[in-house]
Amino acid sequence: MLAAYSLRIRTSTGRELEGVGSKRDRGRIVSRISALANDPRPQGCEKLAGAVNAWRVRQGDYRILFTVDDEARVVDVFKIGHRREVYMRQELALGKRPLKAIVNEALKRGLGLEAPALQEPYRIRPHSSRFLPGVDAGKLNQLADELEAGEFHVRHPARR
């Protein structure tokens, strides 16, 4: 049998737990978090939409949001709150990944252990610049500078 996962609970999460309504609810939430060490993705656990590695588990009217790092065997509980409020300001950076995950993926690709993700090649779509044939687009800035300098001298004649 594999070793249990270690639990990390942020300081802010501890304060959120203290703010939970009743002592009975706090006890249930604590036991639910403790159970994540043995089973980081229990029955009823759901992946958060749009997040790379964030999950949620329900405990009554409260939600426990956490991430799971299977390689390090760590469960990081980052948010506890009432179901109406917990998703309002998610601290999960949707689409962002931890530096460790990025480095590990780069190393695996570099060593040839993992096939690179297929990406569509970058394509340049030509478009009309609407210049007449024979107009040198590179000289347009020089022309604009000359016209601007001439206009400046007309508006501000040199004082003697």
Segment 71-80, tens digit of pLDDT? 888 999 988 9
Residue 35 lies in a domain: yes
Q: What pLDDT is attached to residue 58? A: 93
What gap in Å lies between CA 85 and CA 65, rounded to an integer? 12
Model confidence over 44-73: pLDDT tens digits? Answer: 899 887 777 889 999 999 999 999 988 888
Q: Which segment, 50-64, 76-90, 103-117, 144-158, is predicted with the most confidence on average?
A: 50-64
Residue 128 lies in a domain: no
Residue 62 lies in a domain: yes
Residue 56 lies in a domain: yes
What gap in Å lies between CA 31 and CA 74, rounded to an integer? 17
Residue 30 confidence (pLDDT) above 90 = yes
Q: Which domain holds residue 67?
A: 6-100
Lowest mean pLDDT across 4-13, 73-82, 96-105, 137-146: 96-105
Q: Please check whether residue 85 is in contact with residue 40, taking contact to mean a CB–CB distance below 8 angstroms.
A: no
CATH of the domain at 17: 3.30.2310.20
Model confidence over 119-147: pLDDT tens digits? Answer: 666 677 776 667 677 777 777 778 788 88
Residue 156 confidence (pLDDT) above 80 = no
Q: How many separate domains does the chain show? A: 1
Residue 89 lies in a domain: yes
Residue 118 lies in a domain: no
Q: What pLDDT is attached to residue 4? A: 86
